[in-house]
Structure 1
Amino acid sequence: MKQNYFLRSLFILLLFTAFTSCNDDEGYTPVPEPPVQVSPVDVNLANVPYPTLSQYKFFTGDMKNMEPAYKVIPYDLNSTLFTDYAHKKRFVWMPANTSATYNGDANVLDFPNGTVLIKNFYYDNVQPENTRKIIETRLMIMKNGEWIFANYLWNDAQTEATLDMAGKNIELAWIENGVPMNTTYRIPSGNECFTCHKSDEVPSAIGPKPQNLNKSYTYSNGSANQLSRWIQEGYLNTAPQNITSTIDWTDTSKSLDMRVRSYLDINCAHCHKEGAHCDYRPIRLAFNETTDPVNLGVCVEFQQPVGQGQSHIIARGVYQRSMMYYRMNSVEDNERMPLMGRSVKHTEALQMMQQWISGLGEPCP
C-alpha cells in the first residue's frame, strides 16, 4: 500500500516538473498558426475600370513578365482565336469565397460578381530590336451581374498599360517562324469589343467554356487538368462529367473534321449563332451544332454574293467556289471574315480548309 502511494506521488511530481519546464522561458514555445495567404489583387467594383493596369495588382515582379499574383490562375483554350498571329496569355481571378458554376459543355461558365478575365496580346521577335512586345491587355470584369470591357495599351518601355477604350491602330513588324511579317494591329474600341462579345445585346465572354478548358495545363508546380485545377482553387464548384470537348486544331493527328469544327467554333461561332452579330446568316458554327453539315454551310447557297464564281457557302469538293473560303482568304475590309481582329491571311488555317473542302465528296447539285 505504501509502495503504491509512493509511486503515485512520484508520477505526479514528474508530471508537474515536465509541465513547468515546458513553460519555462528558455524551454518550449508554442508554434504560431501560419498566416492565411490573401490575394493582393484589388478589384473595387465601385471604381473599375482603373486608369492603369498596375492598379489591379494582377502580376508580381516586373509587370511585363506577366507572372501571376496569388490566386490569379493562368489558363488556355484547346483552340484559340486567330488575331494576326498575336500570342496570348490568359488569366482568371475571382474574389475570395466565390466560384463559377457549370452550365453545360458548350456554354460559358456562370461567373460570380467581381470575376476578371485577363487576356494579354504580345508578339515575339518584334523588329527592329527583335524583342518581345506586349501590345495590349483586355479585361472583362463581371460588374453588377454584367460583363464590362477594359482595354489597356502598353507603353514602349513595357512598364505600364493605360486604359484606352477609343481604339487604336499600331504598325507592327515581326518575324513569325522565320518569316518576316507586318500588319496594322488593331486595338479595338469598346463598341468593337461589343460587336463580337454579345448575345441578345448583352455583353458575353467567348472562350471559357468547359469544352474549351478541358485540357492539361503546365502550372508552376506541375501539370493538371484545368477544370480540376479550378475546382482545387475554389474557382469552380461543380465537376462536369464526360465533357464533349473541342480539340487543338493544329494537331494533325486528330481528324480533319474535328479540327475544322474546333477552328470555326472559336473563330466564328460567337457571331454565327442566335442573338449574335451575324445570326441572320444561314449557318451555325458552334462546335455542338456542326455535326450537321447544313449548319456548316455545306451545299447551302449564300444570300449576298461577294466574290466571283462562288456557288455555296461550302461548295462540296471545290474550295474555289466556297464563299467561306473566299472570305477567309480575303483581307478586304468589306469581304474578310472574321470582320474584326484579322488583317492578314491565316495561311495554316486556309490550307486546312482547302484540304477539308476538297475531301467532302461530289460537288453540290
Structure 2
Amino acid sequence: MVKNYLKLLLFLFVSIGIYSCASDDDYVSNPEPTPIPVPTSPVNFNIDEVPYQTLSEYNFYEGEMKYLTPVYGVIPYELSSPLFSDYAHKQRFLWMPNDVSASYVSDSDIFDFPIGTILIKNFYYDKVLPNYNTKIIETRLMIKKAEGWVFAEYIWNENQTEADLDLNGRDVYIQWDENSVTNSVNFRVPSEAECHTCHKTGDVSIPIGPKPRNINMLFNYGDGTKNQLQKWTEIGYLEDTYPDNIESLISWEDTSQSLNLRARSYLDINCAHCHSEEAHCAYRPVRFDFESTSNPINLGICVEPDTEIVGAGLTHIVNPGSHDRSVLYYRLNSIEESERMPLLGRSLKHEEGVQLIREWINSLTTQCN
C-alpha cells in the first residue's frame, strides 16, 4: 500500500515537472505596444530650391490638383473680413515644416511665422463661360525665408492640371455668370513688383491678412467647427501664448453690426495695407488700419484733400452727410486707373463696398468748420 502511494507521488512530481518545463518553453511575454507613427506632411519643400517652377512640385493637394483637396498638414483658413479682388473667390491654406510654430505679437500685427512657412491663396471664379465650370486663375504663395518673405505667382493652364511660375504679371480675361447676369473682367495676376507695392512696410514685404484679429473666428473643417486659433494651436502651428481677449475684426458684410464698425472693417482690409505708416501711401493724410480709425481725422472726416480732382466738386476726403463731395467715395466708385482706390488689386467697382461707404458717409452728422 505504501509502495503504491509512493509510486503515485512520484508520478505526480514527474508530471508537474514535465508540465512546468513545457509551460516555460511555451510562455510568451506580453510584447511592448507598437508605437503609433506620428503623421508627417507629404508636402515637398526645400527652402534652398523654392519657389519651384510648377505648383504641383510642392504636393499641396491630393488627387486632381484642381479640386484643391489639401494633404495632411496643409490647413485651410479664412479671414473675418474679406478683401475685394474683382469678385474672385479665394481659398486660403497654411503650411509649416515640422516642429516649428508661429507666435503671437499683438492683435493687429501678423503672427511671427517661422522660417519655412508657406501661405497659399487660390483665386477662382464659378460658372465661368461657356461651360459654367469653376476656373482657378492663379495661386499666390508667400514663403518665409531667412531673408524675409518671398512671392511666387502660379498661373493655371486651361485644362486646370498645372500652374506655372510667372513673376512678370499677366491679365486673364474671364466671363462668368452671377445670378443670371454675365460679367467679365481682365483679371490682373500681379507681378512681383506689384506684390511688393501692396505688401511692403518700409523696405520689407509682409503678409496682409493673417493677424490674430482676422483669424479669431470659427471655421468649419469638415469634421467639425472650431476657432481657427485653437485649431492652429492643437496642430502645433501656433504657440499657446495669445490672450483670451483678442479684439476680432468684424465682417463688413455683417449687417447686424453698426455702419461705423462695418465701414472701418472694410477700409482696414481693403485700404490699410497702403494707407498706414511706412506703407505705399503713407504720404496721404489718412490711416485706415482699424486701430487708427477710432480717430475720425484718420478716416479723413472733415480733412481737406491733399490732391485736387479737377471738376469733381470734392471738398473733403470724407464730407459728413455728402458722399458726392467726398474723395473717399469718389475713388472707391471710380474704375479709372489714375483715380481709383485701391490702385492695384481691382479693375471693377465693388458695388456692395461702395454702397456701404456711401451709406456710412451719409449717416455722419459731424459739422466741418
> Normalization by structure 1: what TM-score?
0.93
Distance 1:196 1:19, change over 3 A: farther
Tell whether the 8 Å contact from 1:100 to 1:110 is kept in structure 2 after alignment: yes
Alpha-carbon distance in 1 for matches of 2:348, 2:128:
16
Alpha-carbon distance in 2 for matches of 1:210, 1:247:
12
SS class of match (1:262): helix
Structure 2 counterparts to residues 322-333 of structure 1, below 5 A: 322-333=326-337
Tell whether the 8 Å contact from 2:92 to 2:121 is kept in structure 1 after alignment: yes
Give % identity: 50
Tell whether the 8 Å contact from 1:299 to 1:313 is kept in structure 2 after alignment: yes
Which one of 318, 342, 351 corresponds to residue 322 of structure 2? 318
Alpha-carbon distance in 1 for matches of 2:88, 2:337:
19
Which one of 247, 252, 260 corresponds to residue 249 of structure 1? 252
Task: Give 1:363 deviation, angstroms.
Answer: 4.6
Partner amino acid for 1:198? K
Alpha-carbon distance in 2 for matches of 1:83, 1:123:
11
Task: Give 1:255 deviation, angstroms.
Answer: 1.3
Distance 1:259 1:15, change over 3 A: farther
Tell whether the 8 Å contact from 1:113 to 1:145 is kept in structure 2 after alignment: no
Structure 2 counterparts to residues 347-362 of structure 1, below 5 A: 347-362=351-366
SS class of match (2:354): helix
Which one of 302, 327, 340 corresponds to residue 305 of structure 2? 302
Partner amino acid for 1:248? S
Task: Give 1:239 deviation, angstroms.
Answer: 3.7
For 2:340, the equivalent position in structure 1 comes to 336
Alpha-carbon distance in 2 for matches of 1:177, 1:226:
31
SS class of match (2:292): coil
Partner amino acid for 1:69? V
Alpha-carbon distance in 2 for matches of 1:279, 1:15:
89
For 2:83, the equivalent position in structure 1 comes to 81
Answer yes or no: is 1:286 the counterpart of 2:292.
no
Answer yes or no: is 1:346 the counterpart of 2:350.
yes
Tell whether the 8 Å contact from 2:103 to 2:241 is kept in structure 1 after alignment: no
SS class of match (2:297): helix
Task: Give 1:176 deviation, angstroms.
Answer: 2.3
Alpha-carbon distance in 1 for matches of 2:262, 2:207:
22
Tell whether the 8 Å contact from 1:90 to 1:119 is kept in structure 2 after alignment: yes
Tell whether the 8 Å contact from 1:317 to 1:363 is kept in structure 2 after alignment: no
Task: Give 1:30 deviation, angstroms.
Answer: 6.2
Distance 1:111 1:19, change over 3 A: farther
Tell whether the 8 Å contact from 1:318 to 1:363 is kept in structure 2 after alignment: no
Task: Give 1:37 deviation, angstroms.
Answer: 1.2
Task: Give 1:20 deviation, angstroms.
Answer: 3.2
Partner amino acid for 1:311? T
Answer yes or no: is 1:154 the counterpart of 2:160.
no
Partner amino acid for 2:124? Y
Alpha-carbon distance in 2 for matches of 1:14, 1:354:
93
Partner amino acid for 1:282? P
Whichever of the two has the greater Rg, that structure is: 2
The size of the alignment, in residue pairs, is 355
- After superposition, the C-alpha distances for 1:284-306 in whole angstroms (9 at most, x for unaligned) are 10011111111111111011012
Alpha-carbon distance in 1 for matches of 2:26, 2:208:
65
Unaligned runs of 5+ in 2: 1-11
Task: Give 1:31 deviation, angstroms.
Answer: 5.2
For 1:113, the equivalent position in structure 2 comes to 115
Task: Give 1:238 deviation, angstroms.
Answer: 3.0
Alpha-carbon distance in 2 for matches of 1:103, 1:321:
40
Alpha-carbon distance in 1 for matches of 2:255, 2:180:
21
SS class of match (1:259): helix
> Normalization by structure 2: what TM-score?
0.92
Answer yes or no: is 1:273 the counterpart of 2:276.
yes
Alpha-carbon distance in 1 for matches of 2:183, 2:164:
27
- After superposition, the C-alpha distances for 1:93-152 in whole angstroms (9 at most, x for unaligned) are 011000001000000001000000000000001111111000000000001140000000
Task: Give 1:214 deviation, angstroms.
Answer: 0.5
Distance 1:16 1:98, change over 3 A: farther
Answer yes or no: is 1:124 the counterpart of 2:135.
no
